[in-house]
Structure 1
Amino acid sequence: MRICPKCGLPLEACICKELEKEKEKITISSVKRSYGKIVTVIEGIKADTKEIAKKLKKQLACGGTVKENVIELQGDHKKKAKEILVKLGFREENISIV
């Protein structure tokens, strides 16, 4: 049985990731890129950004990438991205749309 180094609980019962999600301050904004394309930028997620980006891209049916722990989604998806992040366990009060 493997033990979590942070909380000392077995990995099956570990709640460290859930606690991290509740504390994170997330900012969602839109940026206009070359050729007038709009990109939704999600900053402030520290844990498992690639997996979260994969889920967002699948549910929003768009392309995207992760660069330096910043998620970039093709298109303007600010409101929908916030809804999905709340469903993934992030606190709504900690997510701000700019």
Structure 2
Amino acid sequence: MCPVCGLPKDLCICQEVAKEQQRITVKINRRRYGKEVTVIQGIDPHEIDLSELATHLKSELACGGTVKGYGVIELQGNHTGRIKKILVKKGFGEGQIQISS
């Protein structure tokens, strides 16, 4: 049983509702030697499993990455062109994803 909604685990919709309410920011940081890192912020780690999401993103984008700090996923390389489509397919709201330069 889910402690939040009271439904059985296979029928629980808490994580789906949480995905629609996230305000996600995607930006590019430059590291030393000119390397670019895609930083995804704004995902609440209490509602969404960040390590599972990071693993999915890394396999879809064929890159390395990690989960850092509070709700921050870092992916190696510049993936701003493809990240929004992948996150929408994963269940996040398209209007809630902001890509900044």
Does TM, scored on the shorter chain, surpass 0.5? yes
User: Partner residue of 1:20?
Assistant: 18
User: Partner residue of 1:5?
Assistant: 3
| 3-state DSSP of counterpart to 2:20 | helix
Give me the TM-score of the superposition, normalised by structure 2.
0.92
Q: 2 CA distance for matches of 1:18 and 1:90?
A: 8
Q: Displacement of 1:55 after TM fit?
A: 0.7
Q: Displacement of 1:81 after TM fit?
A: 1.0
Q: 2 CA distance for matches of 1:10 and 1:58?
A: 30
1:68-98 C-alpha deviation (Å, 9 max, x unpaired): 1210011000121111000000000000001
Q: Where has structure 1 moved over 3 Å in runs of 4 or more?
A: none
Structure 2: state its 5+ residue gaps.
none
User: Partner residue of 2:76?
Assistant: 74
| 3-state DSSP of counterpart to 1:66 | strand
Matches within 5 A, 1:1-98: 3-46=1-44, 47-68=48-69, 69-98=71-100
Q: 1 CA distance for matches of 2:81 and 2:97?
A: 11
Give me the TM-score of the superposition, normalised by structure 1.
0.94
Structure 1: state its 5+ residue gaps.
none
CA RMSD in angstroms, aligned pairs only: 0.7
Aligned sequence identity (%): 56
Alignment coverage as a number of residue pairs: 96
